[in-house]
Amino acid sequence: MKVLKIRHPEKVNKPVSPIQRKPYWIKSKIVNSKEFFLTKSIVNQSNLKTVCQEANCPNITECWSKRHATFLIMGDTCTRACAFCDVITGKPNPLDPMEPYKISRAVKKLNLKHVVITSVNRDDLKDGGSHHFHDVVVQTRKDNPETTIEILTPDFLRKQDSYKKVIESKPDVFNHNIETVPSLYRAVRPGSKYDASLELLKKTKQIDSKIFTKSGLMVGFGETKNEILRVMDDLRSADVDFLTIGQYLQPSVKHFPLQRYYMPKEFEDLKKHALLKGFLLVSSSPLTRSSYHADRDFADLKKKRIVKINATSIG
């Protein structure tokens, strides 16, 4: 018997929240269509999922035209129902044992110098999918030794030490998004815990200090600036290296209602605060997403660190 998957079953009886018209500074870029369709064909032929498609990312045309796609592993169906997310909620299918090889081949075909791999929450699995995550990273590394690997993981809540298996795969960047401020967690991220997300990031750095840690915030839910700054402090206390800040865009009338659009200058202001607090890399803009320009940003960081090391050596 086929299980019916409703795109947002938890939102069916929720009140309608009209979607506000986007301001002029929020618009997708029109770019190289030939490269866009090449990326699309490689993803489709490999029978893979991307968060670009499943979450209706506003940057898909720009990223795919540069052959940059964020792969979504462990299926396209999430076991949680976050009020901001456009990914399908329901009962997931079994894991695909061939997925590590499919991801690895796609990375090679796209000739990626930096790849971002994320997943849905799989609370139905005993380990939350950590072993599968590990296998994808290890296989991708084996077949693409020159490619840097960034992962965006779920929180592995109530899965004991299963997250350690992911850390064993030694990604270059371990990302887990905090998403919003503590006061909004129950409404925006039901099923998740703010402190648990912080602890995951903190323990990752403690276990392997060579791995860069990263987290992301969305704004526009109704949070205050002081709350955002406190989240930055919490992330720095957890020794998080990278931070992304982007505008929440309400996917439908049944999702969490957008409270307001932040202006570009406000994102610049938040970036300045974050850099002063000690983050190594900060991306803050209306269209910033976890993997938006992740390849470029990581490459720039490596160059800066090399220059810094060389300068120290000369001195």
Q: What is the chain's alpha carbon radius of gyration, rounded to the nearest angstrom?
A: 19
Of the chain, the percentage scoring pLDDT greater than 90 comes to: 58
Q: Is the pLDDT of residue 192 over 90?
A: yes
Q: How far apart are CA 37 and CA 59, in angstroms?
A: 15
Q: How far apart are CA 181 and CA 186, in angstroms?
A: 10
Q: How far apart are CA 254 and CA 192, in angstroms?
A: 20
Mean of all residue pLDDT scores within the chain? 84
Tokens of 186: 């129950």
Tell the residue number behind the tokens 């064909």, with chain if given: 41
The DSSP code for 221 is S
Domains in the chain, CATH or no CATH each:
29-314 (3.20.20.70)
The C-alpha angle with vertex 91 and arms to 184 and 255, in degrees rounded to 5, equals 35
Tell the residue number behind the tokens 């020794």, with chain if given: 239
CA distances from 7 to 137, 141, 213, 249 (A): 29, 34, 31, 17
CA distances from 50 to 42, 74, 118 (A): 12, 11, 9
Q: How far apart are CA 179 and CA 270, in angstroms?
A: 15
Tokens of 184: 């909004």
Kindly report the pTM of this predicted structure.
0.84
pLDDT digits (tens, 9 = 90+) for 249-301: 998 888 999 999 999 999 999 999 999 999 999 999 998 877 655 666 666 66
How many of the other CB atoms lie within 10 Å of CB of 131? 17
**How much is the pLDDT for 28?**
65
Q: How far apart are CA 293 and CA 315, in angstroms?
A: 33
CB 117 within 8 A of CB 51: no
pLDDT digits (tens, 9 = 90+) for 152-172: 999 999 999 999 999 999 999
